[in-house]
Chains A and B, each alone.
Chain A
Amino acid sequence: MEPMIRVENLRKQYKQGARPAVDGVSFEVGKGEFFAFLGPNGAGKTTTISILTTTLSKTDGEVMIAGYDVEKEASKVRRNVGIIFQNPSLDLDLTAEENIRLHVSIYGVYAYRPFYSMMPAAYKQRIEELSQVVGIHENLFKKVKGFSGGMRRKLEIMRSLMHNPQILFLDEPTQGLDASARQSLWTYLQKIRKEENMTIFLTTHYLEEAEEADRVCMITQGKVAILGTPDEIKHKLLGDKTMLLRGEDEAALKEELDAMRATYTEENGSLKVVYSDKTPQHLLSQLHTPLTRLDIHQPTLEEAYLRLVEQSERGVSL
């Protein structure tokens, strides 16, 4: 099956740039997949997303979005994607509804009418439903200038879904939002992703948002540094998952671990035990020796990311 996003040897050299901003990047994203694209500032994330969304020309390579070439069939690509930009792109002088009416008109979803009351019933129904879901129903006919950052983001998400895109590009969508606004936004995004089987392409600096991704691609200095599931990446960059155990009877605990063929080492009077499942619950449930210490270290994507950045700065290749 043709992937929804296919990037092959993508290269972008800015006219003023000393080195390519993106240098031989390749990856594929499948239908319905949640793909996180991470990297430090200046790594080439925004350049890549700009090329993928047809706002910037590539220097070399091939990019296919929803089966269409970004250079030759830009218009078809645009029809199939929804984009939430790093910086809000709303017209602050217009109302929320006027912003949406402009969007559906330029996407050819509905014929433009100068007043909301003249728009077709289907438009009114869709706007009603989506505004209820994102929670801006009360403010639909108010100027966007008075909206909080969270409300503006919700409006952008609502707008980007009005033309039923197959792929949603999110370029740091929660930048500037408080924790509660971030959480409600993600709850909603995950909901529509499941309901519509929508592909999500995310760039973010909040790495906990990428923990839920199906796959993660980390880039540094314009090149793909690592690509895989969050667990694969954490394993590769941070090594095994471990926990520290201490038993009332140390010998009995060691005996039980040996019987399970668990890998462990002694560390400051405790046993550092390696586990491979998503959580150590399975391993712990088989132990009968009473424990006096249990420290589980669940590695995070953030730690993996920091390790990658550190290695990149030291010039270590993976």
Chain B
Amino acid sequence: MITTAQREGNAMLAIAAREITKGIKNPVLMIVSIVFPIIFIGIMGGSLSQNMAGGLGFNYLQFMMIGMIVNSIFTGLITGMSSLIEERNQNMTQELYVSPISRYSIIIGKMIGSSFTSLVGLIGIVLVALIMQIPLGGMHIVYLFLITPLFCLVGGSLGIFFIGFVQDSKTADIGSMLLVMPQMFLSGAMTPIQHSTGLLGFLAHIMPMTYCIDLARSVFYSGTDMYSKIVLYNPLTDLAVMAGFFLVFTIVGTLMFTRSERNR
């Protein structure tokens, strides 16, 4: 006899596998995972590195690569979660909503599946880094990859929070871009933010991705001379803030999403 917990776990696994299967079958995902790093790290990063990064005192492309790893995960998770809105509008997920499983299982399953496809997307960044001869930092990059599930959780929870307040797919499309783009520019993914002040400084410090990127860099640069020049906060502070964001976003987002789905 199957227990409720087993049934929910089974459903989560099936929903996650659906995302992964769709991702594997979709060549666009593979193309995007290569094209985006070429545009951002190769073209934009290369140009900034050659023209403006001379006096930084650290390898700019390496710095940016870490930021883009976290950014890529966030983008994948937010767009993955917001696709629930589009799928709901196109009736593709009606099947899930009338099944005897918890809404939490649907959301967590979706988050696991989107995490997998986001992490696969990191292959493109590594390939571009290898081609551009950006130092991967030996074991440091391995440690960084080991903590990527934490970034998936925070990015996914931000996606859940977002879909809790959005009803239609057009708003979801535009909104997810508005959620991703400012974080990419303000959270330190592409440029250092140590000297950000005023409104930009304030915005930088209320963005969840800021703390994820900072934790990623603290792991990647730990034990090196660059650590003090690059890392903003103590890793424990980053972790605490990330945990706070995760809990608030997940609880509020799931409640709002479940309510908006049935209370029309």
Which residues of A pack against B, CB within 8 Å? 14-15, 53-57, 75-76, 78-79, 81, 83, 85, 87-94, 98, 101-103, 105-108, 111-112, 114, 159
Contact = CB atoms under 8 A, between A and B. Distances in A.
Contact of B10 (A54, A56, A111): A111
Contacts of A114: 17
A105 B10 contact: yes
B100 A89 contact: no
B47 to A, nearest CB: 37
A81 B91 CA distance: 18
Interface residues of B, number: 30
Given A103-B95, A108-B2, A14 B100 contact: no
B232 to A, nearest CB: 41
A75 B100 contact: yes
Nearest to B23: A93
Given A88-B91, A108-B2, A78 B17 contact: no
Nearest to A47: B264
Contact of A112 (B13, B91, B97): B13
A62 to B, nearest CB: 17
27 contacts: A15-B263, A53-B98, A55-B97, A55-B98, A78-B98, A81-B98, A88-B91, A89-B92, A90-B92, A90-B95, A91-B92, A92-B92, A93-B21, A93-B25, A93-B26, A94-B22, A102-B15, A103-B95, A105-B10, A105-B14, A106-B10, A106-B99, A106-B101, A107-B99, A112-B10, A112-B13, A159-B95
A106 B262 contact: no
Interface of B: 2, 6-7, 10-11, 13-15, 17-18, 21-22, 25-26, 91-102, 261-264
Nearest to A80: B100
Nearest to B17: A114
A66 B92 CA distance: 26
Contacts of B10: 105-106, 108, 111-112
Contacts of A81: 98
Contacts of B94: 55, 83, 85, 89
A112 B112 CA distance: 15
Contacts of A159: 95
A101 B10 CA distance: 11
Given A56-B264, A78-B99, 4 more contacts: A53-B98, A55-B98, A89-B95, A90-B92
B18 to A, nearest CB: 5
B100 A55 contact: no
